[in-house]
Amino acid sequence: MSQSSFTFLEFFAGGGMARLGLGENWRCVFANDVDAIKCAAYRENFCGDDLVEASIADLSADDLSDGRADLAWASFPCQDLSLAGGRGGMGAARSGLFFEFWRLIEGLRARSRAPRMIVLENVPGLLTSNGGRDFEHIVRLLQGAGYDAAAGVLDAASFTPQSRQRLFIVGFSQPLAGRMRARIASADDAPGLSMMEDWGAAHLPTPRTRRNIHLDDVIDWLHPDWDCERKTQTLISQMTALQRSRLDAILASGARRAGAGFRRTRREHGAPVQRFEARFDGLAGCLRTPAGGSSRQILIAVEHGVVRTRLMSPREAARLMGLPEDYQLPARANAALKLCGDGVCVPVVRWLAENILEPALEPSRADAA
């Protein structure tokens, strides 16, 4: 396959993680984001000539590239859909920006330039938002526009040491959907799409990969900010008895182990209690945007019988998202962490491209030859 065989539009582009995941087989013909800091990072890491820094609400189909793209990717805002948020749903301001994206898709359809495929990425909370009606509405829009829909929750933990589940909805235009299903039916080892009967959508397959790195491999053990005194002892004192016993067992074993956790306020016996909830299963928790103190993930390291803690660094967060070491992050830590926390895990996108998107498109390339 020659480089840049396929073309794509990247909406809500952030730092370009979908672009990185799609890889060299794909050529971006239009990208958009409204966040100035994320756009600066996009330009620093890519040529940036295809990036338009503007609100998606201010764009029209005439602003997009000429011709018909193979793919439109949209990682639209999740704040109103997340189980940790206000659950305002698709009718709320931020997650409701999806409908501005859909307005552009309809504009492309009116010009006979609708993309051959659409990928929507968001949190799994979309499945239950407004009793499932928000998800159903999106599927119905895809179907009404001539796309067969497939959906599935993919976890970054299959690829990187981060527990990060995200919902992916893929719309296949005709005849891509039929070819994809025929390919699946004729090969036992091909990705399987079984019908999701409630909404007439199909299930995306689960990756069969086995992650070969752990949190221990990602963190910087020589970072200068490690603390092994007062702050660490305070965090240990905030662990539950069960968590403390797990930490004590690691210390007794003499093993070197890294964990990660968050500060949380819990109600115990009717009163609020500050807890430090850490995990030592080789995974970090899901990266968040640094909107408040409790959203910063804390690393806890056990080595040579000593316990140390510190905040996760932006570069470590970037590794958890599958970003390469030479990816240029924003200079300010909070801006870099926001870019990572808002992004899509790069290896997940690569898996989706290799196993779902490219196989669906390749027959149309052969037919055109």
Domain boundaries, the chain: 6-209+339-368, 221-312
Confidence grade of residue 187 (pLDDT, cut at 50, 70, 90): very low
* 3-state DSSP assignment of residue 11: strand
183 pLDDT above the threshold of 90: no
Q: Which helix (H) or strand (E) holds 352?
A: helix 346-352
Lowest mean pLDDT of 11-20, 41-50, 54-63, 121-130, name the range.
Answer: 121-130
- Secondary structure percentages of the chain, helix, strand, coil, to 5: 40, 25, 40
Classify residue 329 by its DSSP letter: -
Which has more confidence, 178 or 28? 28
Confidence grade of residue 364 (pLDDT, cut at 50, 70, 90): low
Cis peptide leading into 175, omega within 30 of 0?
Answer: yes
Going by C-alpha positions, the residue among 347, 294, 286 that lies closest to residue 317 is 286
Q: How far apart are CA 77 and CA 83, in angstroms?
A: 13
Question: What's the pLDDT at 79?
Answer: 63
pLDDT tens by residue, 258-300? 999 999 999 999 999 999 999 999 999 999 887 644 578 999 9
3 pLDDT above the threshold of 80: no
Mean pLDDT to the nearest integer, 181-191: 51
- Residue 266 near residue 215, CB atoms below 8 Å: no
Going by C-alpha positions, the residue among 323, 300, 153 that lies closest to residue 227 is 300
Q: How far apart are CA 99 and CA 18, in angstroms?
A: 20
Question: Which CB contacts under 8 angstroms, 24+ apart, belong to 232-239?
Answer: 232/300, 232/307, 232/308, 232/309, 235/263, 235/276, 235/298, 235/300, 235/309, 236/276, 236/307, 238/263, 238/274, 238/275, 238/276, 239/275, 239/276, 239/277, 239/278
Going by C-alpha positions, the residue among 120, 121, 119, 101 that lies closest to residue 109 is 101
Confidence grade of residue 132 (pLDDT, cut at 50, 70, 90): confident
Mean pLDDT to the nearest integer, 114-126: 94
The CATH number of the structural domain formed by 6-209+339-368 is 3.40.50.150
CA 186 from centroid of its chain's CA atoms = 31
Q: Which helix (H) or strand (E) holds 249?
A: helix 241-253
Mean pLDDT to the nearest integer, 352-363: 89
147 pLDDT above the threshold of 60: yes
Q: How far apart are CA 63 and CA 41, in angstroms?
A: 22
- Residue 14 near residue 51, CB atoms below 8 Å: no
Q: Model-level pTM?
A: 0.91
Q: How far apart are CA 168 and CA 360, in angstroms?
A: 16
Lowest mean pLDDT of 8-12, 47-51, 135-139, 290-294, name the range.
Answer: 290-294
Question: What's the pLDDT at 190?
Answer: 42
Percent of the chain whose predicted confidence (pLDDT) is above 90:
70
Q: Who's near 136: CB < 8 A, 6+ residues apart? A: 198, 199
Q: How far apart are CA 88 and CA 94, in angstroms?
A: 9
365 pLDDT above the threshold of 60: no
Lowest mean pLDDT of 15-29, 242-256, 284-298, name the range.
Answer: 284-298
The string of DSSP codes covering 159-181 is: TSSB--EEEEEEEEETTHHHHHH
* 3-state DSSP assignment of residue 309: strand
Q: How far apart are CA 305 and CA 254, in angstroms?
A: 6
Question: What's the pLDDT at 129?
Answer: 85
Mean pLDDT to the nearest integer, 332-346: 96
